[in-house]
Structure 1
Amino acid sequence: MSVLGKINQFRRGVMRGLTKNIGKPKTERDIILVDKTEIKRVLICRPNGRLGNLLLITPLVQEVEETFPNCKIDLFVKGGLAPIIFENYEVVNKTIHLPKKPFKSLIEYIKVWISITSEPYDMAINVDQNSSSGRLAVKFSRAKYKFYGDLDGELTESKSDYDHIAKYPVYNFRTYLTKLGLPKKNKIVESLDLKLSIEEIANGKRILDHIIDPSKRTICLFTYATGEKCFSEEWWESFYSKLKVEYRNYNIIEILPIENVSQIGFQAPTYYSKDIREMGSVLANVDLFIGADSGIMHLASSVQAPVMGLFSVSELKKYEPYDGGSVGIDTKKCLQPEYFKIINSILENGKLKLYPKAV
């Protein structure tokens, strides 16, 4: 780990120690929510700017919208991706974003925090209980109802998918609502959702059709990932060579990262864009996405493309793709011959999608 990385790790540890008791039952009085219609303005705090982490809060945003249909949501995030991701969410009023480098934009950084304390929110929600900034934002808000992201006590029943980072904030939020006097909710947690329009999906098909043979089904690879999550060129080239043989009657394309690199040496037809929504629209039209744990993997999930997620260092239960016929596999336990059985199963079951494939 670099010196800067060690400093950031130390800083996070100190901040978590200072903020861990904020919002504990002893410091917040219990309040009963008599009428759900009084919740009109909600602040959701996820001060993180990564594509995957922002997409992973879409199930919670959908949960809040369903619970309080008359509300408008402000999102406290970092960076400039949130307005793009939540572009078609009518329930989202605005995004409040911290600058990526606060010490270089100190005045803007301070203004953001002041804006949170000045807004008359009815409810403030912290997504990640380990986020010091998220806990502080909820604490500093003027909201009557404050949820800090913690699960106070055990779930009344076991949830096999509780560890998933997109799901446990929803489960915890539901538990919090029961403490406000609302009835228990057992509905399945919603999928990640970019909320593409019909026009966006159709445009994605037009782009894809210029790359592939439209008469064939399409498998899309994403061979890049950050740090140790990225599989080696040797690994990908071995897998790709077998994939070409097994699925010779399929289109196989590679979607490229912003770095414009390829772990298979650009052997397959490629698609490159910096437009997140356009990338999502293209992925919405493929029959299978294969890639390591990354923001693009979650992007594919958010348009309900069937995903085979490759996990080697990330926690599978925490980040695996779900719904749309998707599956996450532990590459340390599952050998390559097994991959093709999984791929066959996904392709045979077809696309269980919220977004119909454009025609």
Structure 2
Amino acid sequence: MQSLTSGLGNSSNVNKGTINPQQVKRVLISRPNHRLGNLLLITPLVQEVQTLFPNATIDVFIKGNLGPIVFENFTNVNQIIRLPKKHFDELGNYMKGWLKLKKNKYDLAINADKNSSSGRLSIQLVNAKFKCFGEQATDLSSQFSDYAHIAKYPVYDLRHFLASVGMNVSNTPIPNLLLQLSPEEVAKGKALLDAIVPASKKTICLFTFATGAKCYSVEWWAVFYERILKEFPDYNILEVLPVENVSQIHFAAPTYYSKDIREITAFFKNTAVFVGADSGMMHLASAAQLPVVGLFSVTKTDKYAPYGAKSVAINTNETTIEDWIQAIKNSLE
């Protein structure tokens, strides 16, 4: 499908005139994807839109059922327009989602992933005065060293687009990933943590699982886990389990298991650092805005690295266990 829609939509061809930020009242952000990580990765864009257009409401066009969970407490988010995760199984609801999108009128519509065929199609079809497809005539990677990051380039693209239609936009730091928690949720997370490990110690949170080739072997984790125990005797070492309820360290550490995404985030919020491979859970820890030590062996660090809050991405193919331990120590400082 991407080859069929690669030439679909061009911001310069459809946008005429100058945008007035005071008149932007309705904004659409399109990311028709169901994966947790991909939805978390557009939260910086949502925050950017909230900052640029504080009086606007935001509709989000996605797939699946995670949108209300991820965007809860984002006060500007008005409506989540959903396509079913498996559209061939729910063709009626799939068509209803597209028709609902078509009925709305927006002042600004933004494609959050320039490489998404369905994202570009949605912006082409929607009724909007200004449309940001995400394509750029200018190579922004030469201007911004972190442009390749999947959570950051949509913000850079939006800023570049808005400048092209007459809006003054400052190059402030890109917002971090964020899942907005209530004080009650954070307090519940602390109670859950304190029920598992002593509250007198800070907690290093391990996530030993990942999908496919991103998952490190049992043997790899055995060596790393033993070294973590040796280097951090004054910390609780706890493992957060995946939905599959498996452990690459054979459940050697105290464990926490939940399928509640917001509860997991609140649990993370009360720990000192997250250590784990590139995964949706890693991005969830980043959205809790705690330090994250992301372990990479097959995916690109410049595209998926955790950032903010003393977070760091480590290519384990090019570093040693000494580097990994030092990264944890740096994040705890």
**Same fold, TM-score > 0.5, yes or no:** yes
| Equivalent of 1:133 in 115, 118, 126 | 118
Q: Which residue does 1:357 correspond to in 2?
A: none
1:160 Cα deviation from its structure 2 partner:
1.1
| Equivalent of 1:23 in 1, 5, 9 | 9
Q: Which residue does 1:57 correspond to in 2?
A: 42
Residue type of the alignment partner of 2:3: G
Distance in 2 of aligned mates of 1:185 and 1:96: 30
Q: Which residue does 1:299 correspond to in 2?
A: 284
Distance in 2 of aligned mates of 1:121 and 1:30: 15
Query: Percent same amino acid among aligned pairs?
Result: 52
1:337 Cα deviation from its structure 2 partner:
1.7
1:54 Cα deviation from its structure 2 partner:
0.5
Distance in 1 of aligned mates of 2:172 and 2:193: 35
Q: Secondary structure at the match of 2:190?
A: helix
1:190 Cα deviation from its structure 2 partner:
0.6
Distance in 2 of aligned mates of 1:160 and 1:324: 19
Distance in 2 of aligned mates of 1:185 and 1:206: 41
User: For 1:30-41, what aligned pairs fall within 5 Å after superposition?
Assistant: 30-33=16-19, 35-41=20-26
| Equivalent of 2:326 in 341, 355, 358 | 341
TM-score normalised to structure 1 length: 0.90
1:25 Cα deviation from its structure 2 partner:
5.2
- Does residue 163 of the first structure (1) align with residue 148 of the second (2)? yes
- Which consecutive unaligned segments of at least 5 residues does structure 1 have? 1-14, 349-359
Q: Which residue does 2:97 correspond to in 1?
A: 112
User: For 1:51-130, what aligned pairs fall within 5 Å after superposition?
Assistant: 51-130=36-115
TM-score normalised to structure 2 length: 0.97
Q: Which residue does 1:42 correspond to in 2?
A: 27
- Which consecutive unaligned segments of at least 5 residues does structure 2 have? none
Distance in 2 of aligned mates of 1:199 and 1:289: 22
Q: Which residue does 2:136 correspond to in 1?
A: 151
- Does residue 189 of the first structure (1) align with residue 137 of the second (2)? no
Check the 8 A contact 1:280/1:303 in 2, yes or no.
yes
- Does residue 269 of the first structure (1) align with residue 254 of the second (2)? yes
- Does residue 321 of the first structure (1) align with residue 306 of the second (2)? yes
After superposition, what is the alpha-carbon deviation per residue over 1:71-108, rounded to whole angstroms, capped at 9, x for unaligned?
11111001101100111101101111111111110011
Q: Secondary structure at the match of 1:104?
A: coil
Q: What is the RMSD computed on CA atoms of the aligned residues?
A: 1.2
Distance in 1 of aligned mates of 2:3 and 2:187: 49
| Equivalent of 2:270 in 267, 285, 288 | 285
Check the 8 A contact 2:15/2:130 in 1, yes or no.
no
Q: Which residue does 2:217 correspond to in 1?
A: 232
Distance in 1 of aligned mates of 2:161 and 2:131: 10
1:254 Cα deviation from its structure 2 partner:
0.4
Distance in 2 of aligned mates of 1:274 and 1:246: 31
1:342 Cα deviation from its structure 2 partner:
1.5
| Equivalent of 1:211 in 168, 191, 196 | 196
Distance in 1 of aligned mates of 2:70 and 2:135: 26
146-155 vs 187-196, greater mean Cα deviation: 146-155
Residue type of the alignment partner of 2:272: D
Check the 8 A contact 2:5/2:117 in 1, yes or no.
yes
Distance in 1 of aligned mates of 2:221 and 2:46: 36
Residue type of the alignment partner of 1:22: L
| Equivalent of 1:331 in 310, 313, 316 | 316
